[in-house]
Amino acid sequence: MHLKASIRLALALAVIMGGMSTQAHDTSAPGATAASDDAYLWLEDIHGQRSMDWVKAQNAITQKQFAGTPEFARTRDGILEVLDSDAKIPYVKRLGDHLYNFWQDKAHPRGLWRRTTLDEYRKAQPNWEVLLDIDALNQAEGKKWVFQGADCLKPDYRKCLVSLSPGGGDAIEVREFDLPSKSFVKGGFLLPVAKTQASWIDENHLYVGTDFGLGSMTKSSYPRIAKIWTRGTPLSAAKTVYEGKDTDLAVNASHDRTPGYERDFVSVAHDFYHSDTYQLKDGKLIHLDAPADAAAVDPHREWLLVQLRDAWTVGGTTYPSGALIATKYDDFMAGKRQFTTLFTPDQHTALSDYMWTRHHLIINVMDDVKSRLDVLTPQADGSWKHEAMPGAPQFSTVDVVGTDPDHSDEYWLSVTGFLTPPSLERGVLGEQQAQALKQSPAFFDASKYEVSQHFVTSKDGTQVPYFELAPKGLKLDGNNRTLLYGYGGFEVSLQPHYSASVGRAWLGRGGVYVVANIRGGGEYGPRWHQAALQANRLRAYEDFAAVAQDLVKRGVTSAAHLGAEGGSNGGLLMGNMLTLYPQLFGAIACEVPLLDMKRYTHLSAGASWMAEYGDPDDPKQWAFIKTFSPYQNLKAGTAYPPVLFFTTSSDDRVGPVQARKMAAKMEGMGYKNVWFYENTEGGHGAGADNKQAAYMHALVYDFLWDRLQ
């Protein structure tokens, strides 16, 4: 249980939820006046008739151009065949004696929540016990629910909190579910749709953060107040545990049910990278005196792990940025400050993740963006034994996707690479090496291609890595259609992974695919991320441009044949490639993007990202933010490459309005090669089901292939 990491991951990847509103903007906000000269402000009315009429008209134009051809149908169907395949791996999570899985296919587009046993799972065709059929639920209720996970109460796992999103956004309805009867509990815990955090204390009590009414959410639209809710009482009677400030990012309370180490905690995220953690004991909050900017403060059994973003001098020792350090929890709470260093990064390595088993700690290290696993074991004398786990294939990613830390040293590994279909392996430390239980089939012929890693010098002299997937014997004549993908933010690392969609829809046509590991990500730890924060944001865009230029210099492609793709923060990257480096690209796909950086803090969950980008309402910060705000930096008479913006109406994280406004502004300035598509469902993802996801991906690939001739 990473206390700071858990709330930050919820924000970054699930990104927390708040009340759903038909208005995306706050006209009383400081930025509203500055937006008064924005001719496209009306598009911020997400579900307004005028806005939706515009969306429908734009969708029709884009669909007519790119989605009505036999080639599009082949691309879409090829991707959908992969997504709906019965041969793909059913990834599982262990809860007690069962392995749980959520499964979507052609017959079950919204999915089945189901479980099986380990013995059954070993079989080629396991017998699955269906717990909840989301399609049947939707038919019975006349809804379009999207399953967003379940939190089940250990140790017996009879009661669960099931999260359902209306359309795939971050706002969820939470319902209590009874596993033995496979039904929702009548009169049980029920929370209406909101950006909610709810977790078990015991069978009759929950920790809840939700929209309790006016003022109960932060400016970032996440829970500001954590409460204890008792079964059989109205939500209004829930007792407040902690009340944060409206300027905080989010507040979360949790109960650790580890046998013998039961504890309660409150985590207060001030922004994405600064949090405070408290133990709640006998009604009092006891602060864990760890650095507020630590990436993780993790009590586990008798241990406390701290993952550092910045160097920390404590107990007479300085621990470096990116390090993972450990001490006894009770010693730390008693005031002792002696730590053992478990991992120290160097110029080539960074800590990707770590996970406990019952007696060991597995750490996942990136070495020049490739995986390495080590096993650490605490010894009786206070030292830790280090052992390397078996190596992974070249240019691969190995993730520990599951353990059973309360009971055993079982671990589950996902192993994949750009050309290596993923496998799911299970092992038991000290007893059994990992063995593959499930193997994904090859959805394209990888023997035709090769992977290489390259390094390019960015504008400020920094060496930036990138991966290239290309046909063997590639002619370096500058004529290859090449797709360059990037993200560059929020400590997210782009590691090697198998994409059947890329293989079928891009490589299979003869294209080259490139992944840029630019600054802003986490590929080399905190230093790599911090190098492109706020006033240094342009470093990320310089890195991406340097990769684009290197591909041309090496003869892989030319500007006319080079496309770029990115989503969310990567959509902001694409917006800046469009406005700052239009000469480098032949076409750009900009997906669920941030683009209006003057207004972003007043749109959807934008206020939560100020630690990443800065506060545009502060004139001093706006001075640097405006340098990477694509919406403001559009200029008439510029030779912009063709661009496709896609987004979703149900995205309550970034929201659809920024893509809408950017497309409308470009069209208003007379640009013709601007395309827009907005799906109604799917939240911040590509779609609410496989069919929608295949459609969206096919639209992007066919647009890029068509424009890069």
SS3 readout for 575-613: HHHHHHCHHHCCEEEEECCCCCCCCHHHCCCHHHHHHHH
- The C-alpha atoms of residue 161 and residue 98 are separated, in whole angstroms, by 17
- pLDDT given at position 394: 75
Q: How far is it, in rounded angstroms, from Cα 406 to Cα 359? A: 9
Provide the pairing of β-strand 482-485 with 349-356. Answer: unpaired
Model confidence at 5: pLDDT above 50? no
Residue 24 above 60 pLDDT?
no
* Length in residues, the chain: 709
- Contact of 570 with 517, CB cutoff 8 Å: no
The two structure tokens encoding residue 502: 């890329």
Neighbour order of strands in the sheet with 562-567: 449-457, 463-471, 512-516, 482-485, 562-567, 587-591, 643-648, 674-679
- Structure tokens belonging to residue 373: 């696993």
- Going by pLDDT thresholds of 50, 70 and 90, the confidence category of residue 684 is confident
Mean pLDDT of the chain: 93
The burial class, CB within 10 Å (0-12 / 13-18 / 19+), for 187 is: exposed
Identify the CA nearest to 198 among candidates 225, 168, 180. Answer: 225
- Average pLDDT (75-104) is 96
Mean pLDDT for the stretch of residues 117-125: 97
So what's the pLDDT on residue 391?
65
The Cα–Cα gap between 516 and 464 comes to 8
Token pair for 335: 């005031």
Q: In this model, does residue 27 exceed pLDDT 90? A: no
At 317-372, the pLDDT tens digits run 999 999 999 999 999 999 999 999 999 999 999 999 999 999 999 999 999 999 99
pLDDT of amino acid 6: 42
What architecture is domain 38-80+443-707?
3-Layer(aba) Sandwich (3.40)
Q: For 222, which DSSP code?
A: S
Question: So what's the pLDDT on residue 36?
Answer: 59
**pLDDT confidence of 37, banded at 50, 70, 90?**
confident
Statement: residue 18 has pLDDT above 50:
no
d(CA 387, CA 571) in angstroms, rounded, equals 40
Cα(221)–Cα(606) distance, integer angstroms? 9
pTM assigned to the model: 0.92
Q: Please report where in the chains the tokens 């709906």 appear, as a residue.
A: 84
- CB distance 121 to 402 below 8 Å: no
- Which secondary structure element, helix H or strand E, spans residue 500, and what is its range? helix 500-505
The band of 652, judged by pLDDT with boundaries at 50, 70 and 90, is confident
Report domain extents, the chain: 38-80+443-707, 288-345, 351-440
- φ and ψ of 334, to 5 deg: -85, 0
* β pairing state of 512-516 and 482-485: parallel
3-state secondary structure of 352: strand
Rounded to an integer, the average pLDDT of 159-174 is 95
The catalytic residues are 568, 684
Alpha carbons within 13 A on the beta-carbon side of 200: 22
Region 402-418 average pLDDT: 96
pLDDT-derived band at 396 (thresholds 50, 70, 90) equals: confident
